[in-house]
Chains A and B, each alone.
Chain A
């Protein structure tokens, strides 16, 4: 495999990983606040179709991305109301949100199927993009950079800011956080909104940059992969970035290997590896010495009823 091919492989991996990473980061924050939202796929689809519709109607990429973010957040708000205010079961509500989002996106998208739009413009990084060979890696659209910046920002927020500490407290010990005066439900609601916005953004990346078009169900399961990445990353942002690049990278790698005819094992086996990895992580964090270090947020998926 030549150096040029390797760069191409990395380039394709970056674009394949970006939607996964955006959605996974959002879900990571939601889960760190103690809420499990399985509706990522539905929110991604709704974001994808809303962004595409606005792009197709106005041709304004910034407006399209903002709409996608808003659409994802709006769908998340419904979820937030149901699980926080009405205390419905988070797993069931999340699944329902995915089904709802799939249907809703198909409905919104009926008039937009088959319409091509221009993809997001590439923004070359000055200096870096001029390097021969690897320079191509620094000539991407805004969302690819944004995803990487978001990893750093979220990692910093969770680790080093007061807000992040409060959010984690809410996810680890909701009752304690409540007893020292933090508005648990409000914080969770904001986290859910953020998760929806990021999922919407991930969806918009698919319909505006990755394959600039709208077709029903175009996420093809990426929302579920994002959920797997959060577990795989043991709820840490930088590991989520690694996970997204690994999941995206292996998919792309097996395609390249198939094309080169060098693959000694069936490609299905290779595609399976990231999921095996997820199961392995789940096994490790459930017992043994890793349990304390990598355990999920203690209040994950549990409804919180403020004591009266």
Chain B
């Protein structure tokens, strides 16, 4: 493993300037191991989003051994700076590049044009190109499983939800969670607090505390730190982990977590890129394909909750259950999804309303 940090990249930038030009003309194929570059938006030690992507990188290394050489750049700012880092990875000989944040998409597409022989994999995006594939997880499926548990476990009927930013990805999760919880207990109310940050452990903990003070006995989170699970443990309530299994932060509080599991996808795509079968594609997969996984259920999950969670999980995998099957009303009383209908992916990505029972 070669760990390149941004500063070293910066130092190498001048030296690479000429190589970059050569890279345009010659395919960036070098003898020796197949080189793969990874780009992370946060530190690999965030125990969340970037941490899980790095686990995928390690899985690729473990699988292919000496046949591959991986490198990663962590804490890359979204936007223009990422373009420079991607270009340097490409001109440095990477033949496959995983750019793992939404804000890297345009940079990846731009660099991809200049390096047609290099394959790009963009996590969470919506544009592809002949050498750029896009992949994402249907995390809302995991939210529905959490909701089924919460419907059974919550005694107060109030569930706290700490949100990062009110973007469709997060709104979709809140809605899927609430729908599943209210299917079990129609009296459930979900209180949402936005902290307007992906990562601020102190503020996340404060938000959790204020929700607990207002009667919530389960805390759900769509932010990136483990502070919520820890706060729930300290206050004797339950919580769901996010991105990775967070049970060590609250052995009693932790009900389950939505785990982003990229390992198999990364291994499959690396294999495809190595044997030449790699193709442009757009992947949005969930529980069925294993990109979204549920962490082992904690001690707070009752038998009834476990049965409901498993029914939801297996139903989604079998395709017999869609978390958004109508009728779905929003929290102002308008019918948004007709009885029996299921929204398409494009509709999900446009969700800017809350279902009945959400207070945001």
Contact = CB atoms under 8 A, between A and B. Distances in A.
B43 A216 contact: yes
A12 B45 CA distance: 27
B47 A211 contact: no
Contacts of A251: 203, 206
B230 interface: yes
Contacts of B194: 258, 267
A190 interface: no
A236 to B, nearest CB: 26
Contacts of A256: 210, 213-214
A261 B216 CA distance: 14
A255 interface: yes
Interface of B: 43, 45-47, 160, 191-197, 199-207, 209-211, 213-214, 216, 225-227, 230-231, 234, 248-249, 359-360
B202 A215 contact: no
A220 B200 contact: yes
Interface residues of A, number: 37
A216 B202 contact: no
A59 interface: no
Given A12-B209, A16-B206, 5 more contacts: A5-B213, A12-B210, A110-B45, A216-B43, A259-B193
Contacts of A255: 193, 195, 203, 206-207, 210
Contacts of A261: 191, 359
Contacts of A9: 210, 213
Given A109-B45, A114-B226, A116-B249, A252 B210 contact: yes
A259 B206 contact: no
A5 to B, nearest CB: 6
16 contacts: A5-B214, A8-B213, A9-B213, A109-B45, A110-B45, A206-B201, A212-B230, A213-B249, A216-B45, A220-B202, A222-B202, A256-B213, A256-B214, A258-B194, A259-B207, A267-B194
Report, nearest first, the 8 A-B pairs whose CB atoms are least far apart.
A113-B45, A220-B200, A8-B213, A216-B43, A256-B210, A211-B201, A211-B227, A258-B193
B196 A268 contact: yes
Interface of A: 5, 8-9, 12, 16, 19, 106, 109-110, 113-116, 119, 206, 210-213, 215-218, 220-222, 251-252, 255-256, 258-261, 267-268, 271
Contacts of B204: 211
Nearest to B226: A213
A261 B191 CA distance: 8
A211 B205 contact: yes
Contact of B210 (A115, A211, A259): A259
A68 B205 CA distance: 22
Contact of A116 (B199, B230, B231, B359): B230
Contacts of A215: 45-47, 199, 201, 225-226
B45 A220 contact: no
Nearest to B248: A116
B46 A216 contact: yes
A25 B82 CA distance: 38
A308 to B, nearest CB: 40
Contact of B230 (A106, A211, A216): A211
B202 A218 contact: yes
B150 to A, nearest CB: 17
Contacts of B205: 210-211
B214 A220 contact: no
Contacts of A109: 45
Nearest to B189: A261
B201 A258 contact: no
Most buried by B among A113, A212, A271: A113
A106 B45 contact: yes
A11 to B, nearest CB: 8
